[in-house]
Amino acid sequence: MNMDDKEPSIYSKLGVSAEKKELHQAIKDIDKGLYPGAFCKIVEDIAGREDYCSIFHSDSAGTKANLAYLYYKETGDISVFKDVVQDAIVMNIDDLLCVGVNDKIILSNTIGRNKKLITGQILSTLINEIENFSRKLTTFGLPIITCGGETEDIGDIIKTLVVSVTVFTTLRKKDVIDASNIQHNDYIVGLASYGKCNYEKEYNSGIGSNGLTLARHGTLNHEYYDKYPECYDEKMDENSVFFGKYKISDKVDGLPISIGRALLSPTRTYTPILLDVFHNNREKIHGIIHNTGGGQTKCLNFGKSIKYIKNDLFEVPPIFKIIQDSSNASWKEMFQVFNMGHRLEIMTDQDSAENIIKISKGFGIDAKIIGHCEKVKERNNLEIISPYGDFHYEQI
């Protein structure tokens, strides 16, 4: 057994699970839809068409919204709430893209706030950015139809802010990308999560919207413990709250933006790239994995009796090195919580892999073959071979 497995992870001590064992247990008897192996649950077409199916999906920006509040209180920069909207939307849209969606999507939102802390100005910023970012996705060629939403003043149960989005669409069954089709000898193409691509305004750290509980507590200084009691669970051990090295405005060598801006970098969407990929290579794609909850181990939930071998990953971006050094999390846990440099994986053949890489680089996003798949007799498992160690993970 790896020494890292003997002690509870930092993430679990913070009250969060990368593996989500309880969730998997809770849903084990729930109907998995028409394509049980697909990245999103897919059900019968709402209009009863035999050749179509429907997809309804919901997600949020998670505790990143809480961090945006802290950053705003420290700096007065209200624009960070725009990034939180992008986080919530992309966490839904890019999940839909993983099953092949490429046409009209209906979008609604739910904003839960503590009215005493989240002002009307912040609320206006959030609502307007939902419209603005939806229009941006539409210009990419993915029409988004916004249908309003709900704002809940629920300070009794929410300390600061929760920003959630729900999406709905339909898709031709022949266009569904079903990750259960991941095959022996498939190449794994990774699309970088960091850098500055053609459609982004500034450098993106690559953090995405997962692992922010570990990222913010393990990176930010304990001075925020007394200043912002609304930003953590008061039942947590004080030693686990904001136990990192940095203030939110600190600069670090190798990172072109402050620690706070890096932790709040908006989740990159791969929409324009995937729409292009679908046009040219859809039939050769066997699976697409959005490395959200579970980070680099997300793939374990998809495919049948597949060993994922990731032996040529991107160099770990600065933000993850900073989090690891500041929090003292093990590298094995880091790969299990964060995307660590690429947030999208496409399983396909060699010719399509090379074309996908070319398409991605055309948008200013680095891409490369980061590994391959092997068929095995046992359940799904994963080998990560990295400069920080070789790590093995198994499907729950």
pLDDT for the residue numbered 24: 56
Query: Which pLDDT tens digit goes with each residue over 340-368?
Result: 999 999 999 999 999 999 999 999 999 99
Assess whether pLDDT exceeds 70 at residue 28: no
Q: Domains in the chain, please, with CATH?
A: 3-394 (3.90.650.10)
Q: Residue 198, Cβ neighbours under 10 Å: how many?
A: 9
Assess whether pLDDT exceeds 60 at residue 17: no
Mean of the pLDDT values across residues 58-85?
97
Q: Residue 283, Cβ neighbours under 10 Å: how many?
A: 12
Cα separation, 259 vs 391, in Å, equals 28
The DSSP bridge pattern shows strands 381-386 and 306-310 to be parallel
Mean of the pLDDT values across residues 246-260?
96
Cα separation, 86 vs 194, in Å, equals 15
pLDDT for the residue numbered 267: 98
pLDDT interval class at 32 (50, 70, 90) = confident
pLDDT for the residue numbered 7: 52
pLDDT for the residue numbered 9: 74
pLDDT for the residue numbered 31: 85
pTM of whole model > 0.95? Answer: no
pLDDT interval class at 23 (50, 70, 90) = low
Assess whether pLDDT exceeds 50 at residue 154: yes
pLDDT for the residue numbered 264: 98
Exposed (0-12), middle (13-18) or buried (19+): which is 374, by Cβ within 10 Å? middle
More confident residue, 204 or 15: 204
Q: What is the mean pLDDT of the chain?
A: 94
Which residues does 226 contact at the CB level (< 8 Å), separation at least 6?
none
pLDDT for the residue numbered 30: 78
Assess whether pLDDT exceeds 80 at residue 11: no
CA torsion angle 96 100 105 109 (round to 10): 0
Which residues does 156 contact at the CB level (< 8 Å), separation at least 6?
none
pLDDT for the residue numbered 84: 98
Note the helical H segments in 181-312. 212-219, 223-227, 259-263, 271-281
Assess whether pLDDT exceeds 90 at residue 25: no
Exposed (0-12), middle (13-18) or buried (19+): which is 394, by Cβ within 10 Å? exposed
Assess whether pLDDT exceeds 90 at residue 38: yes
Mean of the pLDDT values across residues 206-227?
97
Strand (E) or helix (H) holding 107: strand 105-113
Mean of the pLDDT values across residues 156-184?
97
Query: Which pLDDT tens digit goes with each residue over 259-277?
Result: 999 999 999 999 999 999 9
Q: Give all strands of the β-sheet with 105-113 in edge-to-edge order.
A: 43-44, 52-60, 161-172, 105-113, 144-153
